[in-house]
Structure 1
């Protein structure tokens, strides 16, 4: 047995013994993470079935380094399954992915919001659809390569951050429901990425050195604006750049080029202080800018909330961007209230809540529908 495939690692699937009587379905994207999960599942003694969703066409996107779920990635997943000796199935979900993720991504930008398609993908085709497929295959659990932890608490399964903060994906999984969490397993949550690659090398998997998938897999060359423009030509409509005090400062080249909190690329010179994008007004096609203090908000209204614990009136830590530091806050009704003014809170992003007493535990979250200026509280 490979040196890193120790007994404690093989127990990460949290299934009742004997494991040889269990069936594990592994979501395989063709990358090193899900391939190692499949390897751990196979070494556990359980029956393993690999499942890959084809999410977009076998064209230029599929060949791009750092993509996932198409073309070469499907072939890589199948090669891993063949090497490890278990069945592998591919399901075409391209149409559903386009409707629920790609089109919504474009519409969100058009509405002046800042979307997070990876969360939408996890909410839909990945967890909802794979969840059903795994049940249809008679699985005891669905295992994925996400870097989060499933911890058994007093009231059942809890979602926690990964032990490696550099790899933690909990922000993107806030919409995981309790029913899904009961069925899901995340064997990599307690590992560092270097250990995962070492396991892949020890097992001779061809994906051991494969680059990580990019944050938004369906956007060629990271040109978000180009994709949105192709899908929604009206996204390039020009409009006014207006100061928060009402002064007309110039014209912009389309709302898709701006997001709340942005400083670079506004192209307005001759101002007494740096200007930031404060809000986007889709109805009037206006970009409203102002000094950094104008970005301060006291709270936000959330929609489509998903809770893994009761948060009403409870002190929490709220994270409003994937790279932001969680800050003290409280949830009252559908309103997130910050203990101190927060900056760069953008509609369309997610607010994810962590336990103030145990900062690793995810309590749930919701989508930011609107924010409230600190001076208007």
Structure 2
């Protein structure tokens, strides 16, 4: 199988830099790039300590994964470079992740990583290396539109990663390539098997690579020890219902783990108040949101407008019909579990029009819809 890297000159004259995490996706991208006849360079960013990360199953960009990336490059006969970005990753992603939880928000570090270390620093490195493009293993599609290059969902809905790439700028998109965007994961693994790559059966990395075993609270407390300070669990009227062991254990929409008994109906986390360290709970109806104000908006749609936009407010959420006024999204029907700190990504069909970070939500009464 071949892939179109959308090069502006003959492949024999081109240079492709491939972002390699050590997993099967980026390894197959490197193999497909090598098949074009272009000069290919694999680049891996070391994002945290080798010795610590090598013990984490499913981590990326450290330890065993760097070794795997180098082994793949040796197998393909291409150059491989490792760059140390540990301090940059810690400041721009891990520290920010901890601060978001401290502020009662629900962070998405994978977007921040793509926004900073991967699509800013790595892209700059690729240009310094004289590359014609930077190719990655993300499951999204880069489509040449009538006016500009567009970002579209991956063809395989189960693998689509467009939600995590909404902050990609037009300038970055012009330089990036996503050769796996039109493939299902099964086809990617078949390619890896056919060319005997050692990573063909390697498990996918976990979403948050620096959080071992999904215990994000321990990571936050290590970075910000005060994150373990407890407080009160209250209802919307301010009545104390119980105590908690730190805001970092709760997110908007959460039901489990509240440990509040004797209530007439199930209670959910409605909001977090970092100043008073309070967890505010209420019935499911209190989670209904009619609108959300966005910050740090990245717009890829040019001047086009449409009343047929949809928005995803969580990576696994079903796109919901919305109206976008340039600052806020207004849902056609109530949306639940919308939390400050998450991203809202706007689509027109399969095309990513842009998105932003949810700064504030506005409650809805169900009967108004």
The alignment's TM-score, normalised by the length of structure 1, stands at 0.95
1:331 alignment partner in structure 2: 324
SS state at 2:297 partner:
strand
- Please list the CA deviations of residues 100-144 of structure 1 after superposition, one character each: whole Å capped at 9, or x if unmatched: 000000000000000000000000000101110010011111000
Distance 1:306 1:314 in 2: 19
Tell me whether 263-272 or 93-102 shows the greater mean CA deviation.
263-272
SS in 1 for 2:280: strand
Query: What do the CA deviations read for 1:222-257 (whole angstroms, capped 9, x no partner)?
Result: 110011111111111111111113322111111000
Q: What is the CA–CA distance in structure 2 between the aligned matches of 1:199 and 1:248, rounded to whole Å?
A: 58
The reply on whether 1:301 has 2:293 as its aligned counterpart is yes
1:302 alignment partner, SS class:
strand
Matching of residue 122 in structure 1 with residue 126 in structure 2: no
- Secondary structure in 1 aligned to 2:354? strand
TM-score by length of 2: 0.97
Are positions 1:371 and 2:361 aligned together? yes
Q: Which residue of 2 aligns with 1:19?
A: 11
Match of 1:96 among 78, 88, 92: 88
Judge conservation of contact 1:62–1:68 (CA < 8 Å) in 2.
Answer: no
Q: Displacement of 1:351 after TM fit?
A: 0.1
Partner residue, 1:195: 187
Query: In the superposition, relative to structure 1, how do residues 31 and 269 fare at CA in structure 2: closer, same or farther (>3 Å)?
Result: same
1:44 aligned onto 2:55: no
CA distance, structure 1, for counterparts of residue 326 and residue 60 of structure 2: 38
Residue 101 of structure 2, aligned match among 109, 120, 127: 109
Residue 374 of structure 1, CA deviation: 1.1
User: Tell me, which stretches of 5 or more residues in structure 1 are unaligned?
Assistant: none
| 1:140 partnered with 2:103 | no
Deviations 1:83-107 (CA, angstroms, capped at 9, x unpaired): 1111111100000000000000000
Distance 2:118 2:230 in 1: 36
Among candidates 79, 92, 110, match of residue 87 of structure 1: 79
- Give 1:1-377 correspondences, 5 Å limit: 5=1, 9-10=2-3, 12-309=4-301, 310=303, 314-355=307-348, 359-375=349-365
Q: How many residues are treated as equivalent by the alignment?
A: 366
CA RMSD of aligned residues (A): 1.3
Where 1:142 maps in the other structure, the secondary structure is strand
Counterparts of 1:123 and 1:136 in 2: how far apart (Å)? 19
CA distance in 2, matches of 1:49, 1:284: 51
> Is the CA contact (8 Å cut-off) linking 1:347 and 1:371 kept in structure 2?
yes
Distance 1:294 1:48 in 2: 54
- The offset of 1:16, in angstroms, is 3.2
Secondary structure of residue in 1 paired with 2:74? helix
1:313 Cα deviation from its structure 2 partner: 6.9
